[in-house]
Structure formats: C-alpha cells, structure tokens
Amino acid sequence: MKKITIPFLLCCYLFTNAVSAQSSGEKKAWPSSERYSFISECIKTASAGLSEDSARFYCYCMQFKVEEKYPTIEEASAISEDDMSSPEWQKDIKACVNGGTWSAKDRSDFLSECINSAKDKIGEEKAKNYCECMLYKVEIRYPNAADAGELTDDKLNSPAWKKTIQACVDF
C-alpha cells in the first residue's frame, strides 16, 4: 500500500469537495451522535472477544448493516435477541467478524496518516470519525491493502466515491 498517498488523497478530496457534497441534499437516516454511540458501545462489547482493531472493523460493518435494515434509530432500537439470532442476522454477523482482510499495521498506518492530514482542518474528533469510516469503506472495496494504491483523484471524483466520502463526512 502506498503509505501516504491514499489517506492524503482522501483527505485532500474531503477538504476540496466537502462543501459541494454537503449541498447535495441527501439526508442521512441516523443522527451522527447515534452512529457514534453505536460504534463506541459495540467496540467496548466486541473487544472482549476481538482485538480492538478487529472490533472496530466489526462494529463499523455492523453499524452499516443495521442502519441499512433499520433506517431510523427508533426501528433499530427495537431489535431483539431473537432478531439477532435469525439466520439472516447470523450470516451478517459472521461476515462482519470475518470480513476484515488488512493487517492491523495497515489499518493503523491508514488511520494515523488520515487523521494527521485531516485534524488541522476539521478537528481531531471529526477527523477520527471520518478516517475510521473511510478505512472501513476503502478496506471493503480493496481487500488487499496494496491494491488501495489504485485510488486516484479521478476515481475519488466518481459518483460512487463521492457518495462514499459524503457518507463518512456525515458520520
């Protein structure tokens, strides 16, 4: 993986296009505070059986799956243990537990570089949230960390990446 290029590109893109992306009018379903609470609580719980790095990946994965199935926080809060025991949810849970393919070092390097690039412009906490979200999204699209070097400014300007970046800006 190109050590500085990918996080730097993502952060540069964030800063140069955040204003136009925010004016797109796309409404997010869960408030940022609820997303952050879900992730934080999930990491605390999942860290009992997973490394913090794996717990973070698992929790971001699960947050996106839960929000996709339950677009409002009120709907999500009604999920029961029986629901989570269903074959459909068990498949999703297993996919999130087994889904991460980057090494802990690759993830740590990505996060450090991204946060360091972003924190002066948007603050450390927002940079951390943005970068953790982007780490998850980049790792899903590029299971081999070295392949993430394929990200270019042109790719980041594509509609799919603009939507991905905006989702993380809104996180």
Domain for residue 96, yes or no?
yes
pLDDT class of 161 with cuts at 50, 70, 90: very high
Identify whether the C-beta of residue 139 lies closer than 8 Å to the C-beta of residue 98.
no
Prediction pTM value: 0.75
Domain for residue 89, yes or no?
yes
Closest CA to 37 of 63, 68, 66: 63
Identify whether the C-beta of residue 135 lies closer than 8 Å to the C-beta of residue 111.
yes
| Residues in the chain, total | 171
Q: Which residue has the tokens 């929000």?
A: 67
Domain for residue 29, yes or no?
no
pLDDT > 90 fraction of the chain, expressed in percent and rounded: 47
User: 54 CB contacts (<8 Å, ≥6 apart)?
Assistant: 46, 97, 100
Give the domain range for residue 44. 5-18+39-170
Domain for residue 24, yes or no?
no
User: 139 CB contacts (<8 Å, ≥6 apart)?
Assistant: 57, 100, 101, 102, 107, 145, 148
At 118-151, the pLDDT tens digits run 899 889 999 998 999 999 999 999 999 999 888 8
Average pLDDT in the chain: 82
At 36-66, the pLDDT tens digits run 899 999 999 999 999 888 999 999 999 999 9
Half-sphere exposure of 113 (CA within 13 A, CB side): 19
pLDDT at position 9 over 80: no
Domain for residue 43, yes or no?
yes
